[in-house]
Amino acid sequence: MTCKQQIYPIARLILTISLFIFSSCAYFNTFYNAQLYFENAEKQRLEKAGESIPPAAIDAYGKVIEKSQHVIDKYPDSKYVQEARLLIGKARFHRKEYRIAETLFNQYTEIYSNEVEEAEFWQALCKWKLGKPQPALDVLKSMLVASTDNDFISKIHLAIAEIYLETDEPSKALEHLVLAAEMNKNRDERGQIYFRIADLAYSAENYEQALKANEEVVKNTTSKKRKEEANLQIVRIHRLLGKWDKVKSLIKSMLLDDIYRSIHGDLELELVKLYQMDNQIEEAITRIESIKEDYKNSKTSAEAYFIHGEISLFDQWNLVNAEKYFGQVSREFRQSMFTSTANLRAKEITEYQTSLTEISSLEENSALIRAALDTLEYDSLKQVQEEELNTSQLSISNHLYNLGELDAFHFKRQDSSLAHFQRIVDEFPESDFYPKALFVLYYIHFTNENKESADLYSKRILDELPSSEYADYLRKALNLPVDPESVQAILRQGELEWLVNPSNALTFYRDIIIKDSQSETASRAAYFLAYHYDYTFFEHDSAMKYYSLLNDNYYDSEQAIASRDRYSQLSQAVIETKKDTLSEGPIFDTEQDSLSNQEVDENKKNEILNPKFIKTKQDSLEY
């Protein structure tokens, strides 16, 4: 054999081996890249656990699908194909392509019938995401019994916890998260799970468990951000548990450590809250002023201004300063979580000050009218003045109720609120706010365990306002018999009548409005009438009557807000109809066909009982 003849087989063998190695490296590299993308995506997803998946993670899952599919298509005999199929299914799932993912896992279990455990786990998750949480839980719980791998058991517990969180069962979710953390061997994943536990326990006000979980986060997480958040939460929890000396010690040591520089502002705010809880108001204000200077135009300074506003409002009762500080919150940091509350507080303070000013002005005006009434001789002039006086008195009762409500339920000044409500009861018994004031006086005394005063006001409500919803509430609370004439009893009658004779049922709802026009039940009754005149009986003029009543008398109620768009549509339709009618010229003789003043007055009396809008005698026009 010649030298050439010996070399050719060797060269051919080397070439074959090289091609094999190159081919193996190619599909290994492709699959390795797919795994890498998946790991990166998972890391991002876990860091945002409980939130929407970041766009970068969604893109990474897309790369996983692309690379894995390349391995399956180009190297179908590769040992990596099986794992590539699983990766594609998982990536599809996390991209919320649940139907496709379910199909892929079904195919996987058919192809690899002896290795289906992980695929069945993902099939269960697909069931959950496709609206079948209970079947998913059944499968996952059966897998817990069968599995022996701790990491896999941890994954199952974590999935069960996610389902319970979605079905609003946080205590069960917490139980499985704890088990997931205990079984997990991966330090970083364990840190992520403990972070979830800490958050849930804190929300449930289980501070001891939240404290332990945050301590585990600090031990396990490799994320600097998570470690800082957990340390800050540890400080907060110790403060809430009343361990104030420990909190001061922790904060001071952390403020001296540059490792915690990024949360120094938050730590200083915790110190402010600690001073507040210890009633050291001057120390709190001194620290707040320092924070305002050191952290200008930041979320930290925004919160400092908010706290200063609360101190001015609740501790110092300085409305001018409180309004100023609340107004500064959004200027410091528009995205602050305190912006909306601060704006609301500033608005409430403005309303309070406006009511004080209006009451002073109305009282002065009322005094002048009373003085004038003593000198007037003509009945007609007296009547005008008396009507003006009544209007002023009603306005005063309105503003008094506003002051009382803000004091009692917004500004933490229940003792001050009692004077406003009592004045309505003593001086304005004809006011629409009289029943409300009487009930609030009962409620405040009852919640403060002042039984003698609470009993006095409850008796007055039952004696003076037996048909009101407040009397109904008391009868239920005190186990008294139902009054058949009460608004709640009428409402129940209306609901039953609606089932058999809808047209007759409307009378009951109209009776509710007549009996107790200022109650929440009346607001619901008005909405019921408006809605059904509109959509059931198609009587839009009657619907307009009650939509108008809702928006005029119950403007801030849920019912008025829900009906506002429809009311606007119908109002616009009425305007357009008027324009069309006017453009065609007059179609009736006003002298002969218009309603007399007496008839108009009669119509006004019957507007609620007969909710049709006024028509001409010949019915040629509808309002």
Q: What is the pLDDT of residues 56-67, one digit of tens each?
A: 999 999 999 998
- Residues 504, 449 share a domain: no
C-alpha dist (Å) from residue 581 to 105, 456, 543: 67, 59, 21
Residue 308 CA: distances (Å) to CA of 262, 278, 313, 412, 583:
23, 16, 9, 16, 61
Output 595 or 442, whichever has higher pLDDT. Answer: 442
Is residue 512 domain-shared with residue 417, that is, in the same domain?
no
Per cent of the chain over pLDDT 90 is: 54
Does residue 384 lie within any of the structural domains? yes
What integer best gives the mean pLDDT of the chain?
A: 85
Domain shared by 387 and 436, yes or no: yes
State the residue range of the domain holding 582: 487-605
Cα–chain center distance at 200: 17
Report if residue 568 sits inside a domain.
yes
pLDDT in tens, 597-622: 344 344 433 444 444 333 332 332 23
Q: Which of 402, 435, 453 is the last residue of a domain?
A: 453
Q: Note whether 500 and 581 are same-domain residues.
A: yes
The token duo for 287 is: 């620290």
Across 4-18, 204-218, 383-397, 544-558, which has the greatest mean pLDDT?
204-218
Query: Which pLDDT does position 376 carry in this prediction?
Result: 66
| pLDDT greater than 60 at residue 416 | yes
Which pLDDT tens digit goes with each residue over 41-56? 888 887 776 577 888 9
Would you say residue 1 lies in a domain? no
What H or E segment, with its residue span, contains residue 402? helix 379-409
- Say yes or no: 585 and 513 in one domain: yes
Note whether residue 243 is domain-resident: no
Whether 396 has a pLDDT exceeding 90, the answer reads: yes
Instruction: Please say if the pLDDT value at position 513 is more than 90.
Output: no
Report how far apart, in Å, the C-alpha atoms of 605 and of each of 158, 194, 499, 514 are: 66, 68, 30, 11
Asked if pLDDT for residue 427 goes beyond 50, the answer is yes
| Residues 6+ positions from 180 with CB-CB distance below 8 Å | 154, 155, 157, 158, 161, 193
401 or 4, greater pLDDT? 401
Could you tell me if 572 and 566 are in contact, meaning their C-beta atoms sit under 8 angstroms apart? no
Q: Are residues 497 and 429 in the same domain?
A: no
Instruction: Examine the domain organization and report whether 438 and 533 are in the same domain.
Output: no
Q: How would residue 484 be classed by pLDDT, with cut points 50, 70 and 90?
A: confident
Residue 607 pLDDT: 42
Query: What's the average model confidence in pLDDT over 316-330?
Result: 97
Arithmetic mean of pLDDT, 110-127: 92
φ, ψ for residue 622, nearest 5 deg: -115, 140
pLDDT value for 50: 59
The reported pLDDT for the residue numbered 481 is 83
- Among the residue ranges 39-48, 266-275, 306-315, 505-514, the one predicted with the least confidence is 39-48
Q: What percentage of the chain reaches a pLDDT higher than 70? A: 87
* pLDDT digit string, tens, across residues 3-33: 555 555 554 544 444 444 444 455 557 777 8
CA dist list (Å): 39 to 34, 61, 91: 9, 9, 11
Model's pTM, two decimal places?
Answer: 0.67
What number is the average pLDDT over the span 166-170?
92
Instruction: Note the pLDDT of residue 514.
Output: 86
State residue 581's pLDDT score.
Answer: 57
- Distance of alpha carbon 494 from alpha carbon 474, whole angstroms: 22
Site of tokens 């996983």: 64
Q: Identify whether the C-beta of residue 49 lies closer than 8 Å to the C-beta of residue 192.
A: yes
Q: What is the pLDDT of residue 233?
A: 95
On whether both 512 and 600 belong to a single domain, the answer is yes
152 inside domain? no
Which of 183-187, 369-373, 473-477 is the least confident region?
A: 369-373
Structural domain includes residue 125: no
Examine the domain organization and report whether 395 and 497 are in the same domain.
no
- How many domains in the chain? 2
| Residues 493 and 447 placed together within one structural domain of the fold | no
- Helix, coil or strand: residue 589: coil
When mean pLDDT is compared across 42-51, 143-152, 402-411, 550-559, the lowest value belongs to 42-51
User: End-to-end CA distance of the chain, in Å?
Assistant: 116
d(CA 422, CA 412): 18
Grade residue 582 by pLDDT with cuts at 50, 70 and 90: low
Residues 194-197: contacts with CB within 8 Å, 24+ apart? Answer: 194/220, 194/221, 195/49, 195/221, 195/226, 195/229, 195/230, 196/49, 196/50, 196/161
Of 453, 471, 499, which marks where a domain is finished? 453
Q: Do residues 601 and 491 both lie within one domain?
A: yes
Check pLDDT > 70 for residue 345. Answer: yes
- Quote the longest CA-to-CA distance of the chain: 147
Query: Does residue 525 carry a pLDDT above 70?
Result: yes
pLDDT greater than 70 at residue 36: yes
Q: Is residue 593 part of a domain?
A: yes
Residue 403 lies in a domain: yes
What pLDDT score does 495 carry?
A: 83
Q: What is the pLDDT of residue 587?
A: 40
